[in-house]
Structure 1
Amino acid sequence: MSRGEMALRDIMVTELLTVFEDETMQRPALFFKEFPFHHLPVLNRDVHLVGMLSSTDLAQISSGFSLFEMQDRAQYDDAIFQSTLVKDVMSKQIFSMHPQQTIAEAYDQFRQGTFRAIPIVDGDQVVGLVTPLDIIEALLNS
């Protein structure tokens, strides 16, 4: 088997944090602050994948960088996060793959530049996540 034929199930991250589309941005903001993740799968209440949320999405609604000091930045961000729903910020255009698909297939998708993380779905359950870094690490370690 060539390295490109390696299955996604062998390289995917399986310890996932997920969020619900109808919750506020408070919990995702905490996740991005506390954990080294840059992407969160978004689920509906039936636990089906409906979108992806990235740390970039969060940055776009926060007070962000300013040349001027903003003393109330944390309070401002907290107010925004409390009043904004995940579904209003997430990427609704999602692409998923199956655990048995190969890293070569995932690479082809990443090469197109549309996605930075691909949720791995088995049936209707999110079972993992793959990023370009996961592919690089798998190739270097094989």
Structure 2
Amino acid sequence: MSVNSISDVMTAPVRTVAPDTPLREVAQIMRDSDLGDVLVAEGDHLLGIVTDRDIVVRCVAAGADPAEHTAGDACSSEVATVPPQSGIRDAVHTMREGAVRRLPVVDGDRIVGVVTMGDLARVVDGDSALARVSSAAPNR
């Protein structure tokens, strides 16, 4: 497979939730879909990203109830993004600069996908440990 841009490696469609979605529901979506993140959006407009770690650190570890707190409460709203036509190096640079592992892919204001560090590792060096771990079946 020839990889020319992020659109060649991104995951689409993505799971999105509204900002008022309870974190318990977000966690269940992550579990059922084998995801570590969901995008927080109103329609196609990206508002933030919430990860499994965000739920733990910003809610559970703080003693909050995930049934009473929402995706909007726990999400990161300052989100680095890339357009679908971005090159692999551009995405790697954006991840490095933002110290993030996931990048929403947006075309203008419209969410079109997500690219992860694992996706990029599989393209850049398919024999790397990260690529092999990222390609492994979920550990349930």
SS of residue in 2 equivalent to 1:15: coil
Which of 18, 21, 27 is 2:19 aligned to?
21
Distance 1:111 1:92 in 2: 18
Which of 47, 50, 70 is 2:47 aligned to?
50
Which of 5, 8, 13 is 1:7 aligned to?
5
Q: What is aligned with 1:35?
A: 33
> Could you tell me whether the CA contact under 8 Å between 2:102 and 2:117 is conserved in 1?
yes
Deviating beyond 3 angstroms after TM superposition, the runs of 4 or more aligned structure 1 residues are: none
Q: Higher relative CO (CA 8 A, sep ≥ 6), structure 1 or 2?
A: 1
Q: CA deviation at 1:47?
A: 3.1
Distance 1:49 1:55 in 2: 18
Q: List gaps (5 residues or longer) in structure 2.
A: 127-140
AA partner of residue 91 (structure 2): A
> Could you tell me whether the CA contact under 8 Å between 2:80 and 2:94 is conserved in 1?
no
Distance 1:24 1:96 in 2: 24
Which of 62, 78, 87 is 1:102 aligned to?
87
Which of 128, 133, 136 is 2:113 aligned to?
128
CA RMSD of the aligned region, Å?
Answer: 2.2
Scaled by the length of structure 1, the TM-score of the pair is 0.77
SS of residue in 2 equivalent to 1:126: strand
AA partner of residue 30 (structure 1): Q
Q: List gaps (5 residues or longer) in structure 1.
A: 65-75
SS of residue in 1 equivalent to 2:34: coil
Q: What is aligned with 2:131?
A: none
Residues matched between the structures, number = 124
Distance 1:135 1:106 in 2: 8
The C-alpha deviation readout for 1:76-115, integer Å capped at 9, x for no partner, is: 98xx122101111100111111100111000111223521
The 10-residue stretch of structure 1 (8-17 or 28-37) with the greater mean CA deviation from structure 2 = 28-37
AA partner of residue 44 (structure 2): V
SS of residue in 2 equivalent to 1:12: coil
